[in-house]
């Protein structure tokens, strides 16, 4: 039975997606692409629900959670981690369909895993999930079925979850074209904390440091507008979301912070003692390790697909560049003027949603005799 369900479309089923933002909307579209199923949406924001229906992201709107999950074969909780905990508590008192699968998309797993434990007594299966992909945009209007393509999609099944149920969930989600990987909630939180959560703390701390010094010297903010702003992009992430993620992954964060303090103490010692060889080796080792990291793959942090375009100091050049790409329906997620001064070439930094968009844009602009550059990954 498991083999059959893993290879065929699931017909005449009902899916309930709770939370119609970028992630929930993209999962709904991926499911609709592959399966003949009715997708019902639940969201506290009625306008978001209406928009989702008008965009054909969902088929039906439910007025409340109980109505949405009634007879649902799959329930996707696409809400922030704190809200997901509340939803799991509510589900324990609702009439869930026997044999249903409940999954989430949270960036932390251990606490959610604990909250979901009572569901197994209701003859339903909870399998934690975390699609490690995102976008510069937000909201259901930015939802795309291919958002998770080639991205890691972590699944954290419980001991009660049979192999058949895990296969069923992967079959439901096969339209994402994601790379599924199984691990324990504890392992997930440790790795996600290191690769995703902790870097957000570092980025925010760097910004705070510049802000504090900027209070003493106005030039700091002007100089930080360039490369510094680029390397701290993730500090612009949703504060409420990251507050909840850090609190949910508190133990891992505290451990990583202590390790970071030891690492900074090591750097401080090298500087105090002017150990030039040790300083060189410190950077050399970091360079070698980073250069060996896989490229052109989606990881836990959002990727930024940037293309640099040399432009002359001439009226209308920016609209010409965007017009060339617009004719081919290539979406630019961000555009920044790096430098334009009279009588010298300037540069534009264009950001794209995917590497494929970037490659196509590069070819189109070079065909139009623009010089383009990719910075080394």
- Residue 340 and residue 219 share a domain: no
Residues 83 and 132 in one domain: yes
What residue has token string 């409940």?
Answer: 102
Percent of the chain surpassing pLDDT 70: 89
pLDDT tens, 78-88? 999 999 999 99
- Residue at token pair 């979850």: 161
Contact between residue 15 and residue 76 where contact means Cβ atoms under 8 Å apart:
yes
Domain holding 319: CATH number?
A: 3.30.2130.10
Strands 346-352 and 305-311: antiparallel
Give mean pLDDT, residues 139-154: 88
Tell me, yes or no, whether 283 lies in a domain: yes
Whether 60 and 115 map to the same domain: the answer is yes
Shared domain for 159 and 218, answered yes or no, is: no
Q: Does one domain contain both 85 and 130?
A: yes
Give residue-wise pLDDT tens across range 16-33: 999 999 999 999 999 999
pLDDT in tens, 268-298: 999 999 999 999 999 999 999 988 876 655 5
Q: What is d(CA 270, CA 275) in angstroms, rounded to the nearest whole number?
A: 5
Domain match, 179 and 324 both? no
The helix-helix angle for 355-367 and 317-326 (nearest 10°) equals: 120
Which of 267, 291, 315 is the last residue before a domain boundary?
291
Q: In this structure, are 82 and 228 located in the same domain?
A: no
pLDDT-derived band at 340 (thresholds 50, 70, 90) equals very low
- Confirm whether 136 is domain-assigned: yes
Q: List the domain range (segments joined by +) for residue 350.
A: 305-373
Domain boundary among 135, 159, 183: 183
Across 117-131, average pLDDT: 92
- Residue positions counted in the chain: 377
Lowest mean pLDDT among 35-39, 73-77, 121-125, 228-232: 228-232
What pLDDT sits at residue 299? 58
Q: How many domains does the chain have?
A: 3
In the chain, the percentage of residues whose pLDDT exceeds 90 is 58
Q: Are 148 and 26 in contact (CB under 8 A)?
A: yes
Same domain, 178 and 194: no
DSSP H or E stretch at residue 242? helix 239-248
pTM over 0.75: no
From the list 83, 82, 78, the residue with the least C-alpha distance to 104 is: 78
Asked whether residue 57 is domain-assigned, the answer is: yes
Instruction: State which of 183, 214, 248 marks the end of a domain.
Output: 183
**CATH code at position 95:** 3.40.50.720
Of 5-14, 115-124, 248-257, 288-297, where does mean pLDDT reach its minimum? 5-14
């Amino acid at each position: 039975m498991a083999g059959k369900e893993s290879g065929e479309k699931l017909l005449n089923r009902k899916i309930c997606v709770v939370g119609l933002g970028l992630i929930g909307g993209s999962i709904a579209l991926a499911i609709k692409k592959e399966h003949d199923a009715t997708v019902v949406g639940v969201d506290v924001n009625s306008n978001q629900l209406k928009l989702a229906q008008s965009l054909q992201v969902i088929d039906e709107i439910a007025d409340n959670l109980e109505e949405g999950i009634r007879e649902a074969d799959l329930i996707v909780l696409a809400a922030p981690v704190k809200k997901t905990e509340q939803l799991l508590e509510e589900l324990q008192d609702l009439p869930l369909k026997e044999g249903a699968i409940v999954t989430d998309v949270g960036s932390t797993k251990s606490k959610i895993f604990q909250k979901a434990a009572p569901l197994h007594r209701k003859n339903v299966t909870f399998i934690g999930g975390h699609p490690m992909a995102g976008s510069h945009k937000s909201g259901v209007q930015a939802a795309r079925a291919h958002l998770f393509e080639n991205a890691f999609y972590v699944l954290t099944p419980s001991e009660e979850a049979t192999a058949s149920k895990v296969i069923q969930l992967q079959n439901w989600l096969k339209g994402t074209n994601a790379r599924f990987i199984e691990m324990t909630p504890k392992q997930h939180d440790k790795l996600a904390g290191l690769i995703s959560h902790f870097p957000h703390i570092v980025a925010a701390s760097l910004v705070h440091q510049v802000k504090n010094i900027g209070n003493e010297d106005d030039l700091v903010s002007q100089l930080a507008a360039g490369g510094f702003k680029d390397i701290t992009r993730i500090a612009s992430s949703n504060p409420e979301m990251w507050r909840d993620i850090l609190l949910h992954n508190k133990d891992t964060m505290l451990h990583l912070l202590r390790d970071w303090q030891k690492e900074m103490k090591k750097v401080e010692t090298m500087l105090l003692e002017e150990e030039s060889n040790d300083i060189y080796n410190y950077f050399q080792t970091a360079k070698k390790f980073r250069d060996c990291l896989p490229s052109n793959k989606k990881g836990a942090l959002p990727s930024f697909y940037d293309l640099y375009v040399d432009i002359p100091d001439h009226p209308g050049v920016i609209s010409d560049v965007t017009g060339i790409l617009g004719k081919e329906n290539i979406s630019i997620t961000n555009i920044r003027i790096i430098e334009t001064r009279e009588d010298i070439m300037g540069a534009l930094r264009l950001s794209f949603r995917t590497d494929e968009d970037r490659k196509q844009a590069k070819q189109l602009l070079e065909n139009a005799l623009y010089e383009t550059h990719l910075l080394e990954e």
